[in-house]
Structure 1
Amino acid sequence: MTGPGAPPPTTPILGIPVHVLTLPDAVALAAEWLRRGEKTYLCHADARSILAARDDPAFRRALAGAGFVGADGMPLVWMERWRGLPGGRVYGPDFMQAMMAHGVTATERPLRHFLFGSTPQVLDRLTRRLADGHPGLLIAGSFSPPMGTWDEAADRAHRALINDARADIVWVSLGAPRQELWMARNRPHLQAPLLCGVGAAFDFLSGVKPQAPRWLRRIGLEWAFRLLSEPRRLAGRYARTLPRFMALALAEEMRRRRQGAGDQRRT
């Protein structure tokens, strides 16, 4: 970071700028924005999100408008490290837990959190689990929006609910790219300083879905654990995502290296 509240540098991954930061960096940056009352939204991207943003201009613009886009998946972290950059994984559930702890212990008053997304059952379990894990945590409100698309009247009703709760942080679990598009569209109308898109974090932290052991996540095999847990839902997704991402990433790195070699020869 270049100064308090300044976003870290980015590196393009398949043409999508991803911020180079670690989890502690991300927490420190979010905390500084909260302290200063700056309004922004935060995204966590994996290989599937990068591919989707590459194909969808609206999604790409939503990511470009974020305060930061953290590397949620290990393939993105590996690409940063191949380039000699000091990035790390900014995993949505870990970021959410760290910010919950920060809001209880490191601020003058408990931060007010709002949970937006998922199902009423998941929200109920998540609220209880978070309260057990972070004594003093203040969940100011939660809402499970209906399935399907929402018109402007529904958006207004959702915004009123969140603003009435006087939230400091709105946690958004709608899945990509829906949550990023929702944050970009509603950011000007929400009073909460931070909107944080965290994908499946509600399911994992509530215990509704099993989370891969930390050692599997660290070596980049979380996808295998999730595939074994939900083969019907994820087999097709991974078959479409992983080979394409790997092929495009390899081609991008080869181009970068050739360009770097050419620049060296010219100097």
Structure 2
Amino acid sequence: MNEPLNPSVQSDSAAAATVPQPAPPLPDRIRSEVWDVPFDHLTLAEAVDWIECLVQRRTPSYVITANVNYCMLHHRDPEMGVITDNADLILADGQPIVSRSRLSKKPIPERVAGSEMIYHLAERCSDNGWGIYFLGGEEGVAAQCAKKLQAMYPGLKISGIESPPFRKLSEREQAEQDQRIKKSGAAILLVAFGQPKGEKWIHENYKRLGIPVSIQLGASFDFIAGKAKRAPILCQKMGLEWAYRMCTDPKRLVPRYAKNATFLLGALIEDWKRLVTSWGMGDWSNRPER
């Protein structure tokens, strides 16, 4: 359900009504494929700079933070191909993806975790006077997330907070939600619907809503609100955050990570076969790019 806006929740519509200044051109992009998903070669800081450029364009766009689960869905779900193709940025939110890219000629510099990027986005929005619309999560979680970020980054504008029901909205409900988001004047729409529901929802709606940047951020709301806990830093660096999360919510995550592990094993076997084949043909420099 919708959560009432409190006095700290501000509308950004007046700022959005001003005539925008010409946006700087987007930086040059470098991409390489890992398991058929084209990832942008960006550090966390560079990704935030890119998103700032996208906001300044004032043209509806969306960003994907892709992990191994996203790569698997990209392979198995026919709807995901066009979502991947139309994304303005695809960030590697998984250490296995970064590690695999090191076998190619264009390795990804680092993991860009959505659960870390959300803090940097809030800081950048606070610095620029931009608003964020928080959409999704269980009732109360988005509000708590927004409250904590606003306390950390004074001046952050909260353009809207909404926790819709976990079902498809009626036509009337969807139209009312559209109007709330459109009139909010938000620069960034953060969505927490889960994967791939969030990416599909954004792809279906982002042009109509007109928000400069939309991003599905998974469990980030839960982490900030304190509903879920991130893995220790050592687990994150070792690429074992998935194992930690699986232990904290086995009923929901064990089936998902079992599928991810099966996909990952199959993908690595295919990578090895291609590498062995290239060696057999005498091409030692032809490392797999997929």
The TM-score, its normalising length taken from structure 2, stands at 0.83
- CA, structure 1 residues 7+230, in 2 after alignment: closer, same or farther (shift >3 Å)? farther
Name the count of aligned residue pairs: 262
- CA, structure 1 residues 7+73, in 2 after alignment: closer, same or farther (shift >3 Å)? farther
Look up the equivalent residue of 2:261 and give its one-letter code.
L
Q: Which stretch shifts more, 167-176 or 52-61?
A: 52-61
Q: State the identity as a percent.
A: 25
Correspondence for 1:194 = 213
Where relative contact order (Cα < 8 A, 6+ residues apart) is larger, the structure is: 2
- 1:33 aligned to 2:37? no
Indicate which of 147, 157, 179 corresponds to 2:176. 157
- 1:73 aligned to 2:99? no
- 1:98 aligned to 2:138? no
Give the gaps of 5 or more residues in structure 1: none
For the Cα contact (< 8 Å) 2:61–2:207, is it kept in 1?
no
Look up the equivalent residue of 1:231 and give its one-letter code.
P
- CA, structure 1 residues 244+164, in 2 after alignment: closer, same or farther (shift >3 Å)? same
Q: How well do the aligned residues superpose, as a CA RMSD in angstroms?
A: 2.3
Which protein is richer in helix relative to its size? 1
For the Cα contact (< 8 Å) 2:40–2:108, is it kept in 1?
no
Consecutive aligned runs of 4 or more in structure 1 exceeding 3 Å deviation: 150-155, 256-265
Q: How does 1:119-198 map to 2 (within 5 A)?
A: 119-150=138-169, 152-198=171-217
- 1:50 aligned to 2:71? yes
For the Cα contact (< 8 Å) 2:131–2:159, is it kept in 1?
yes
- 1:13 aligned to 2:34? yes
Give the gaps of 5 or more residues in structure 2: 1-23
- Displacement of 1:165: 0.9
- Displacement of 1:80: 1.5
Tell me how far apart the structure 1 counterparts of residues 152 and 173 of structure 2 sit (CA, whole Å).
Answer: 33
For the Cα contact (< 8 Å) 1:40–1:195, is it kept in 2?
yes
Q: 1:130-188 CA deviation, whole Å, 9 max, x = no partner?
A: 11211111111111111122355443322211011111100011111111111111121
- Displacement of 1:6: 4.0
The TM-score, its normalising length taken from structure 1, stands at 0.89
- CA, structure 1 residues 155+254, in 2 after alignment: closer, same or farther (shift >3 Å)? farther
Q: 1:26-61 CA deviation, whole Å, 9 max, x = no partner?
A: 111111111232321001111111101111111221
Instruction: Give the greater-gyration-radius structure (CA).
Output: 2
- Displacement of 1:210: 0.9
Report the secondary structure of 1:64's partner residue.
helix
